[in-house]
Amino acid sequence: MHATKLVVYGRDGILNEYREDHVKAPDEWLPLPGALEAVARLNHAGWHAVVATNQAGIGSGMIDMASINAVHAHMNQLLMAVGGRIDAVFFCPHTPEAHCDCRKPLPGMMLDIGRRYGVDLAQVPMVCDTLRDLLAAQAAGCQPHLVLSGRAAASGDDELRHMLQQVPQAQVHESLQAFAEFVLQREHSAESAPASLV
């Protein structure tokens, strides 16, 4: 029996354009170029996709559940149009002041994902675009991957160096497409490696 192949994606700045004022409606959810196709490419190779996202706008009253559900339905429609899918969206609805254990950089959401899917998080890549998300991946025991899209695109060399000093095992990719290529190449290399004799 094969273990579930699972990727955890952040949402804003990874799949769609980041907005300082939060994504409050479907027409504000604008996919980053090539991001949905990258998810679909991994889907076609047998990788399940889960989103883990902080949504403090819910806790602050800026967004209601009907709006967030409409945004995610729109996201899935756009993904389906390119042959991709997100299995589930896990989100923290709390503001930082709530001191919950599910808001990234704490690992609560990822630990929940690991339990729900019965996966070893050490085998799960987590795609990040901020230090906060990298720290969450590290705390949960996921494989941290930084994509230089969204908020990370605006980071200078010093800021990137600081991020990688705090999460030294993080892999860096120019885009979500480059991340997908990395995963598929790594998988191909592992499959084509000769079996060792015991």
Query: Could you read off the pLDDT tens digit of each residue along the chain, which spans 198 residues?
Result: 458 999 999 999 999 999 988 899 999 999 999 999 999 999 999 999 999 999 998 999 999 999 999 999 999 999 999 999 999 999 999 999 999 999 999 999 999 999 999 999 999 999 999 999 999 999 999 999 999 988 888 888 899 999 999 999 999 999 999 999 999 999 988 887 665 554
Residue 190: alpha-carbon gap to chain centroid: 23
pTM of the model: 0.93
| Strand 6-9 to 143-147 pairing | unpaired
pLDDT at 1: 42
Question: What number does CATH give the domain 7-188?
Answer: 3.40.50.1000
pLDDT at 42: 98
pLDDT at 5: 97
The answer to whether 50 and 7 have CB atoms below 8 angstroms apart is yes
Residue boundaries of the structural domains of the chain: 7-188
pLDDT at 77: 98
State the DSSP string of 108-142. HHHHHHHHHHT--GGG-EEEESSHHHHHHHHHHT-
Query: Within 13 Å of residue 197, how many CA atoms lie on the same side as its CB?
Result: 0
pLDDT at 80: 98
Alpha carbon distance 53, 102 (integer Å): 10
pLDDT at 104: 97
Residue 196: Cβ-neighbour burial (10 angstroms; 0-12, 13-18, 19+)? exposed
In which order are the strands placed within the sheet that holds 48-54? 88-92, 48-54, 6-9, 125-128, 143-147, 171-173
**Beta bridge partners of residue 127, listed in sequence order:** 9, 145
